[in-house]
């Protein structure tokens, strides 16, 4: 059976800023809100956490804060990707050292490795650090798509335990489940199709939307994983416009705008990202109202 701790909704946390620096107090409050709302795990310093513009010291500090605040109540999958294999190994090693439960390692961006290069990248990480690793496949951002065939090879390695699949390709999920075996953990990285991903045998979602509506996202995923798809669809209907609205501008600017609207942190992002466009703010606010105050209060 797949690793039981890695299922459900795992929030791809934003990194709040204040006066240009990481707002550690706001980050701790966000983590506490997530846990109180019933999410099943936390993912700091991924794409939504603006890892590309964090310094190495900031990256490590945010992971440490997340692990310390969670204190074992939910698993923490630390963002640890790089297009340098050695740097990725260093980040995974740090995640293990400070007590993260797993690492999320994106396919190397910009240098566009071959499938053999991708295999060797993850095999090197597997050999260097004894920590569960999720392969993060998001070709829209990396210009690099890891195939099911390569994942099938990686699934044989002891520390490569699953995937965050942000392709939105649901057929890929069904085939991967068959090819990678019963222990392979399948996590969606695409909120709008996460319900369908679970219907195809997935185990959960690393979610952007749950930053804003953690209780609603957790309720939807709990229903789907228990087989109550009528309830899950009802939650999806309340959430789907928010799923879409949070990507009407470069992520995570819309998510931070929504969190600022809820009084949870400041809306600022780091260049080259710009603050959420005024043109899309009405759609975000309308989507928030569809979820409902009760599902946003935690």
3-class state of residue 258 by DSSP: helix
What is the token pair recorded at 237?
A: 């209907």
Cα(194)–Cα(92) distance, integer angstroms: 26
CB 265 within 8 A of CB 258: no
- Annotated active-site residue 230? The verdict is no
- Annotated active-site residue 164? The verdict is yes
CB 3 within 8 A of CB 38: no
Task: Name the catalytic one among 164, 197, 244, 256.
Answer: 164
Hey, which bits of the chain come out as E strands? 8-12, 17-18, 21-22, 41-43, 77-79, 102-106, 133-137, 160-165, 185-188, 204-207
Nearest Cα to Cα of residue 109 among 85, 88, 83, 134: 83
* Cβ neighbours of residue 152 closer than 8 Å, sequence gap 6 or more: 176, 179, 180
Instruction: Quickly count: other Cβ atoms within 10 Å of residue 206's Cβ.
Output: 29
Task: Name the catalytic one among 7, 96, 122, 136.
Answer: 136
Q: Please give the backbone phi and psi of residue 88, each rounded to the nearest 5 degrees, phi first.
A: -60, -40
If phi > 0 it is left, if psi is from -120 to 50 it is alpha, else beta; for residue 270 that is: beta
Q: Is the preceding peptide bond at 252 cis, omega within 30 degrees of 0?
A: yes
DSSP per residue over 25-89, as a string? Answer: HHHHHHHHHHHHHT-SEEE-SSTTTTGGGS-HHHHHHHHHHHHHHHTTSS-BEEE---SSHHHHH
CB 237 within 8 A of CB 37: no
3-class state of residue 131 by DSSP: coil
Residues with active-site annotation? 136, 164
């Amino acid at each position: 059976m797949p690793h039981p701790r890695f299922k459900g909704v795992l929030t791809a946390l934003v990194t709040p800023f204040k006066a240009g620096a990481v707002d550690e107090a706001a980050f701790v409050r966000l983590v506490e809100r997530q846990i109180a709302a019933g999410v099943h795990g936390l993912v700091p310093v991924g794409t939504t956490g603006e890892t590309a513009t964090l310094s190495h010291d900031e990256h490590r500090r945010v992971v440490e804060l997340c692990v310390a605040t969670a204190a074992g109540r939910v698993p923490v999958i630390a963002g640890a990707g790089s297009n340098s294999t050695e740097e990725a190994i260093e980040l995974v090693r740090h995640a293990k050292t400070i007590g993260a439960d797993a690492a999320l390692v994106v396919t190397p961006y910009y240098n566009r490795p071959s499938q053999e290069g991708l295999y060797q990248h993850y095999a090197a990480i597997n050999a260097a650090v004894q920590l569960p690793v999720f392969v993060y496949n998001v070709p829209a951002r990396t210009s690099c798509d890891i195939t099911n065939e390569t994942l099938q090879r990686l699934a044989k390695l002891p520390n490569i335990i699953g995937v965050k699949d942000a392709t939105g390709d649901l057929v890929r999920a069904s085939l991967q489940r068959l090819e990678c075996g019963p222990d392979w953990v399948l996590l969606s990285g695409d909120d709008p199709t996460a319900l369908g991903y679970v219907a195809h045998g997935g185990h959960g979602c690393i979610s952007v939307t749950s930053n804003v509506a953690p209780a609603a996202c957790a309720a939807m995923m709990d229903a789907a994983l228990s087989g109550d798809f009528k309830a899950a669809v009802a939650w999806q209907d309340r959430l789907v416009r928010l799923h879409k609205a949070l990507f009407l501008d470069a992520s995570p600017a819309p998510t931070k705008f929504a969190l600022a609207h809820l009084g949870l942190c400041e809306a600022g992002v780091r260049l080259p990202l710009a603050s959420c466009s005024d043109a899309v703010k009405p759609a975000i606010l309308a989507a928030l109202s569809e979820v409902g105050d009760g599902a946003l209060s935690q």
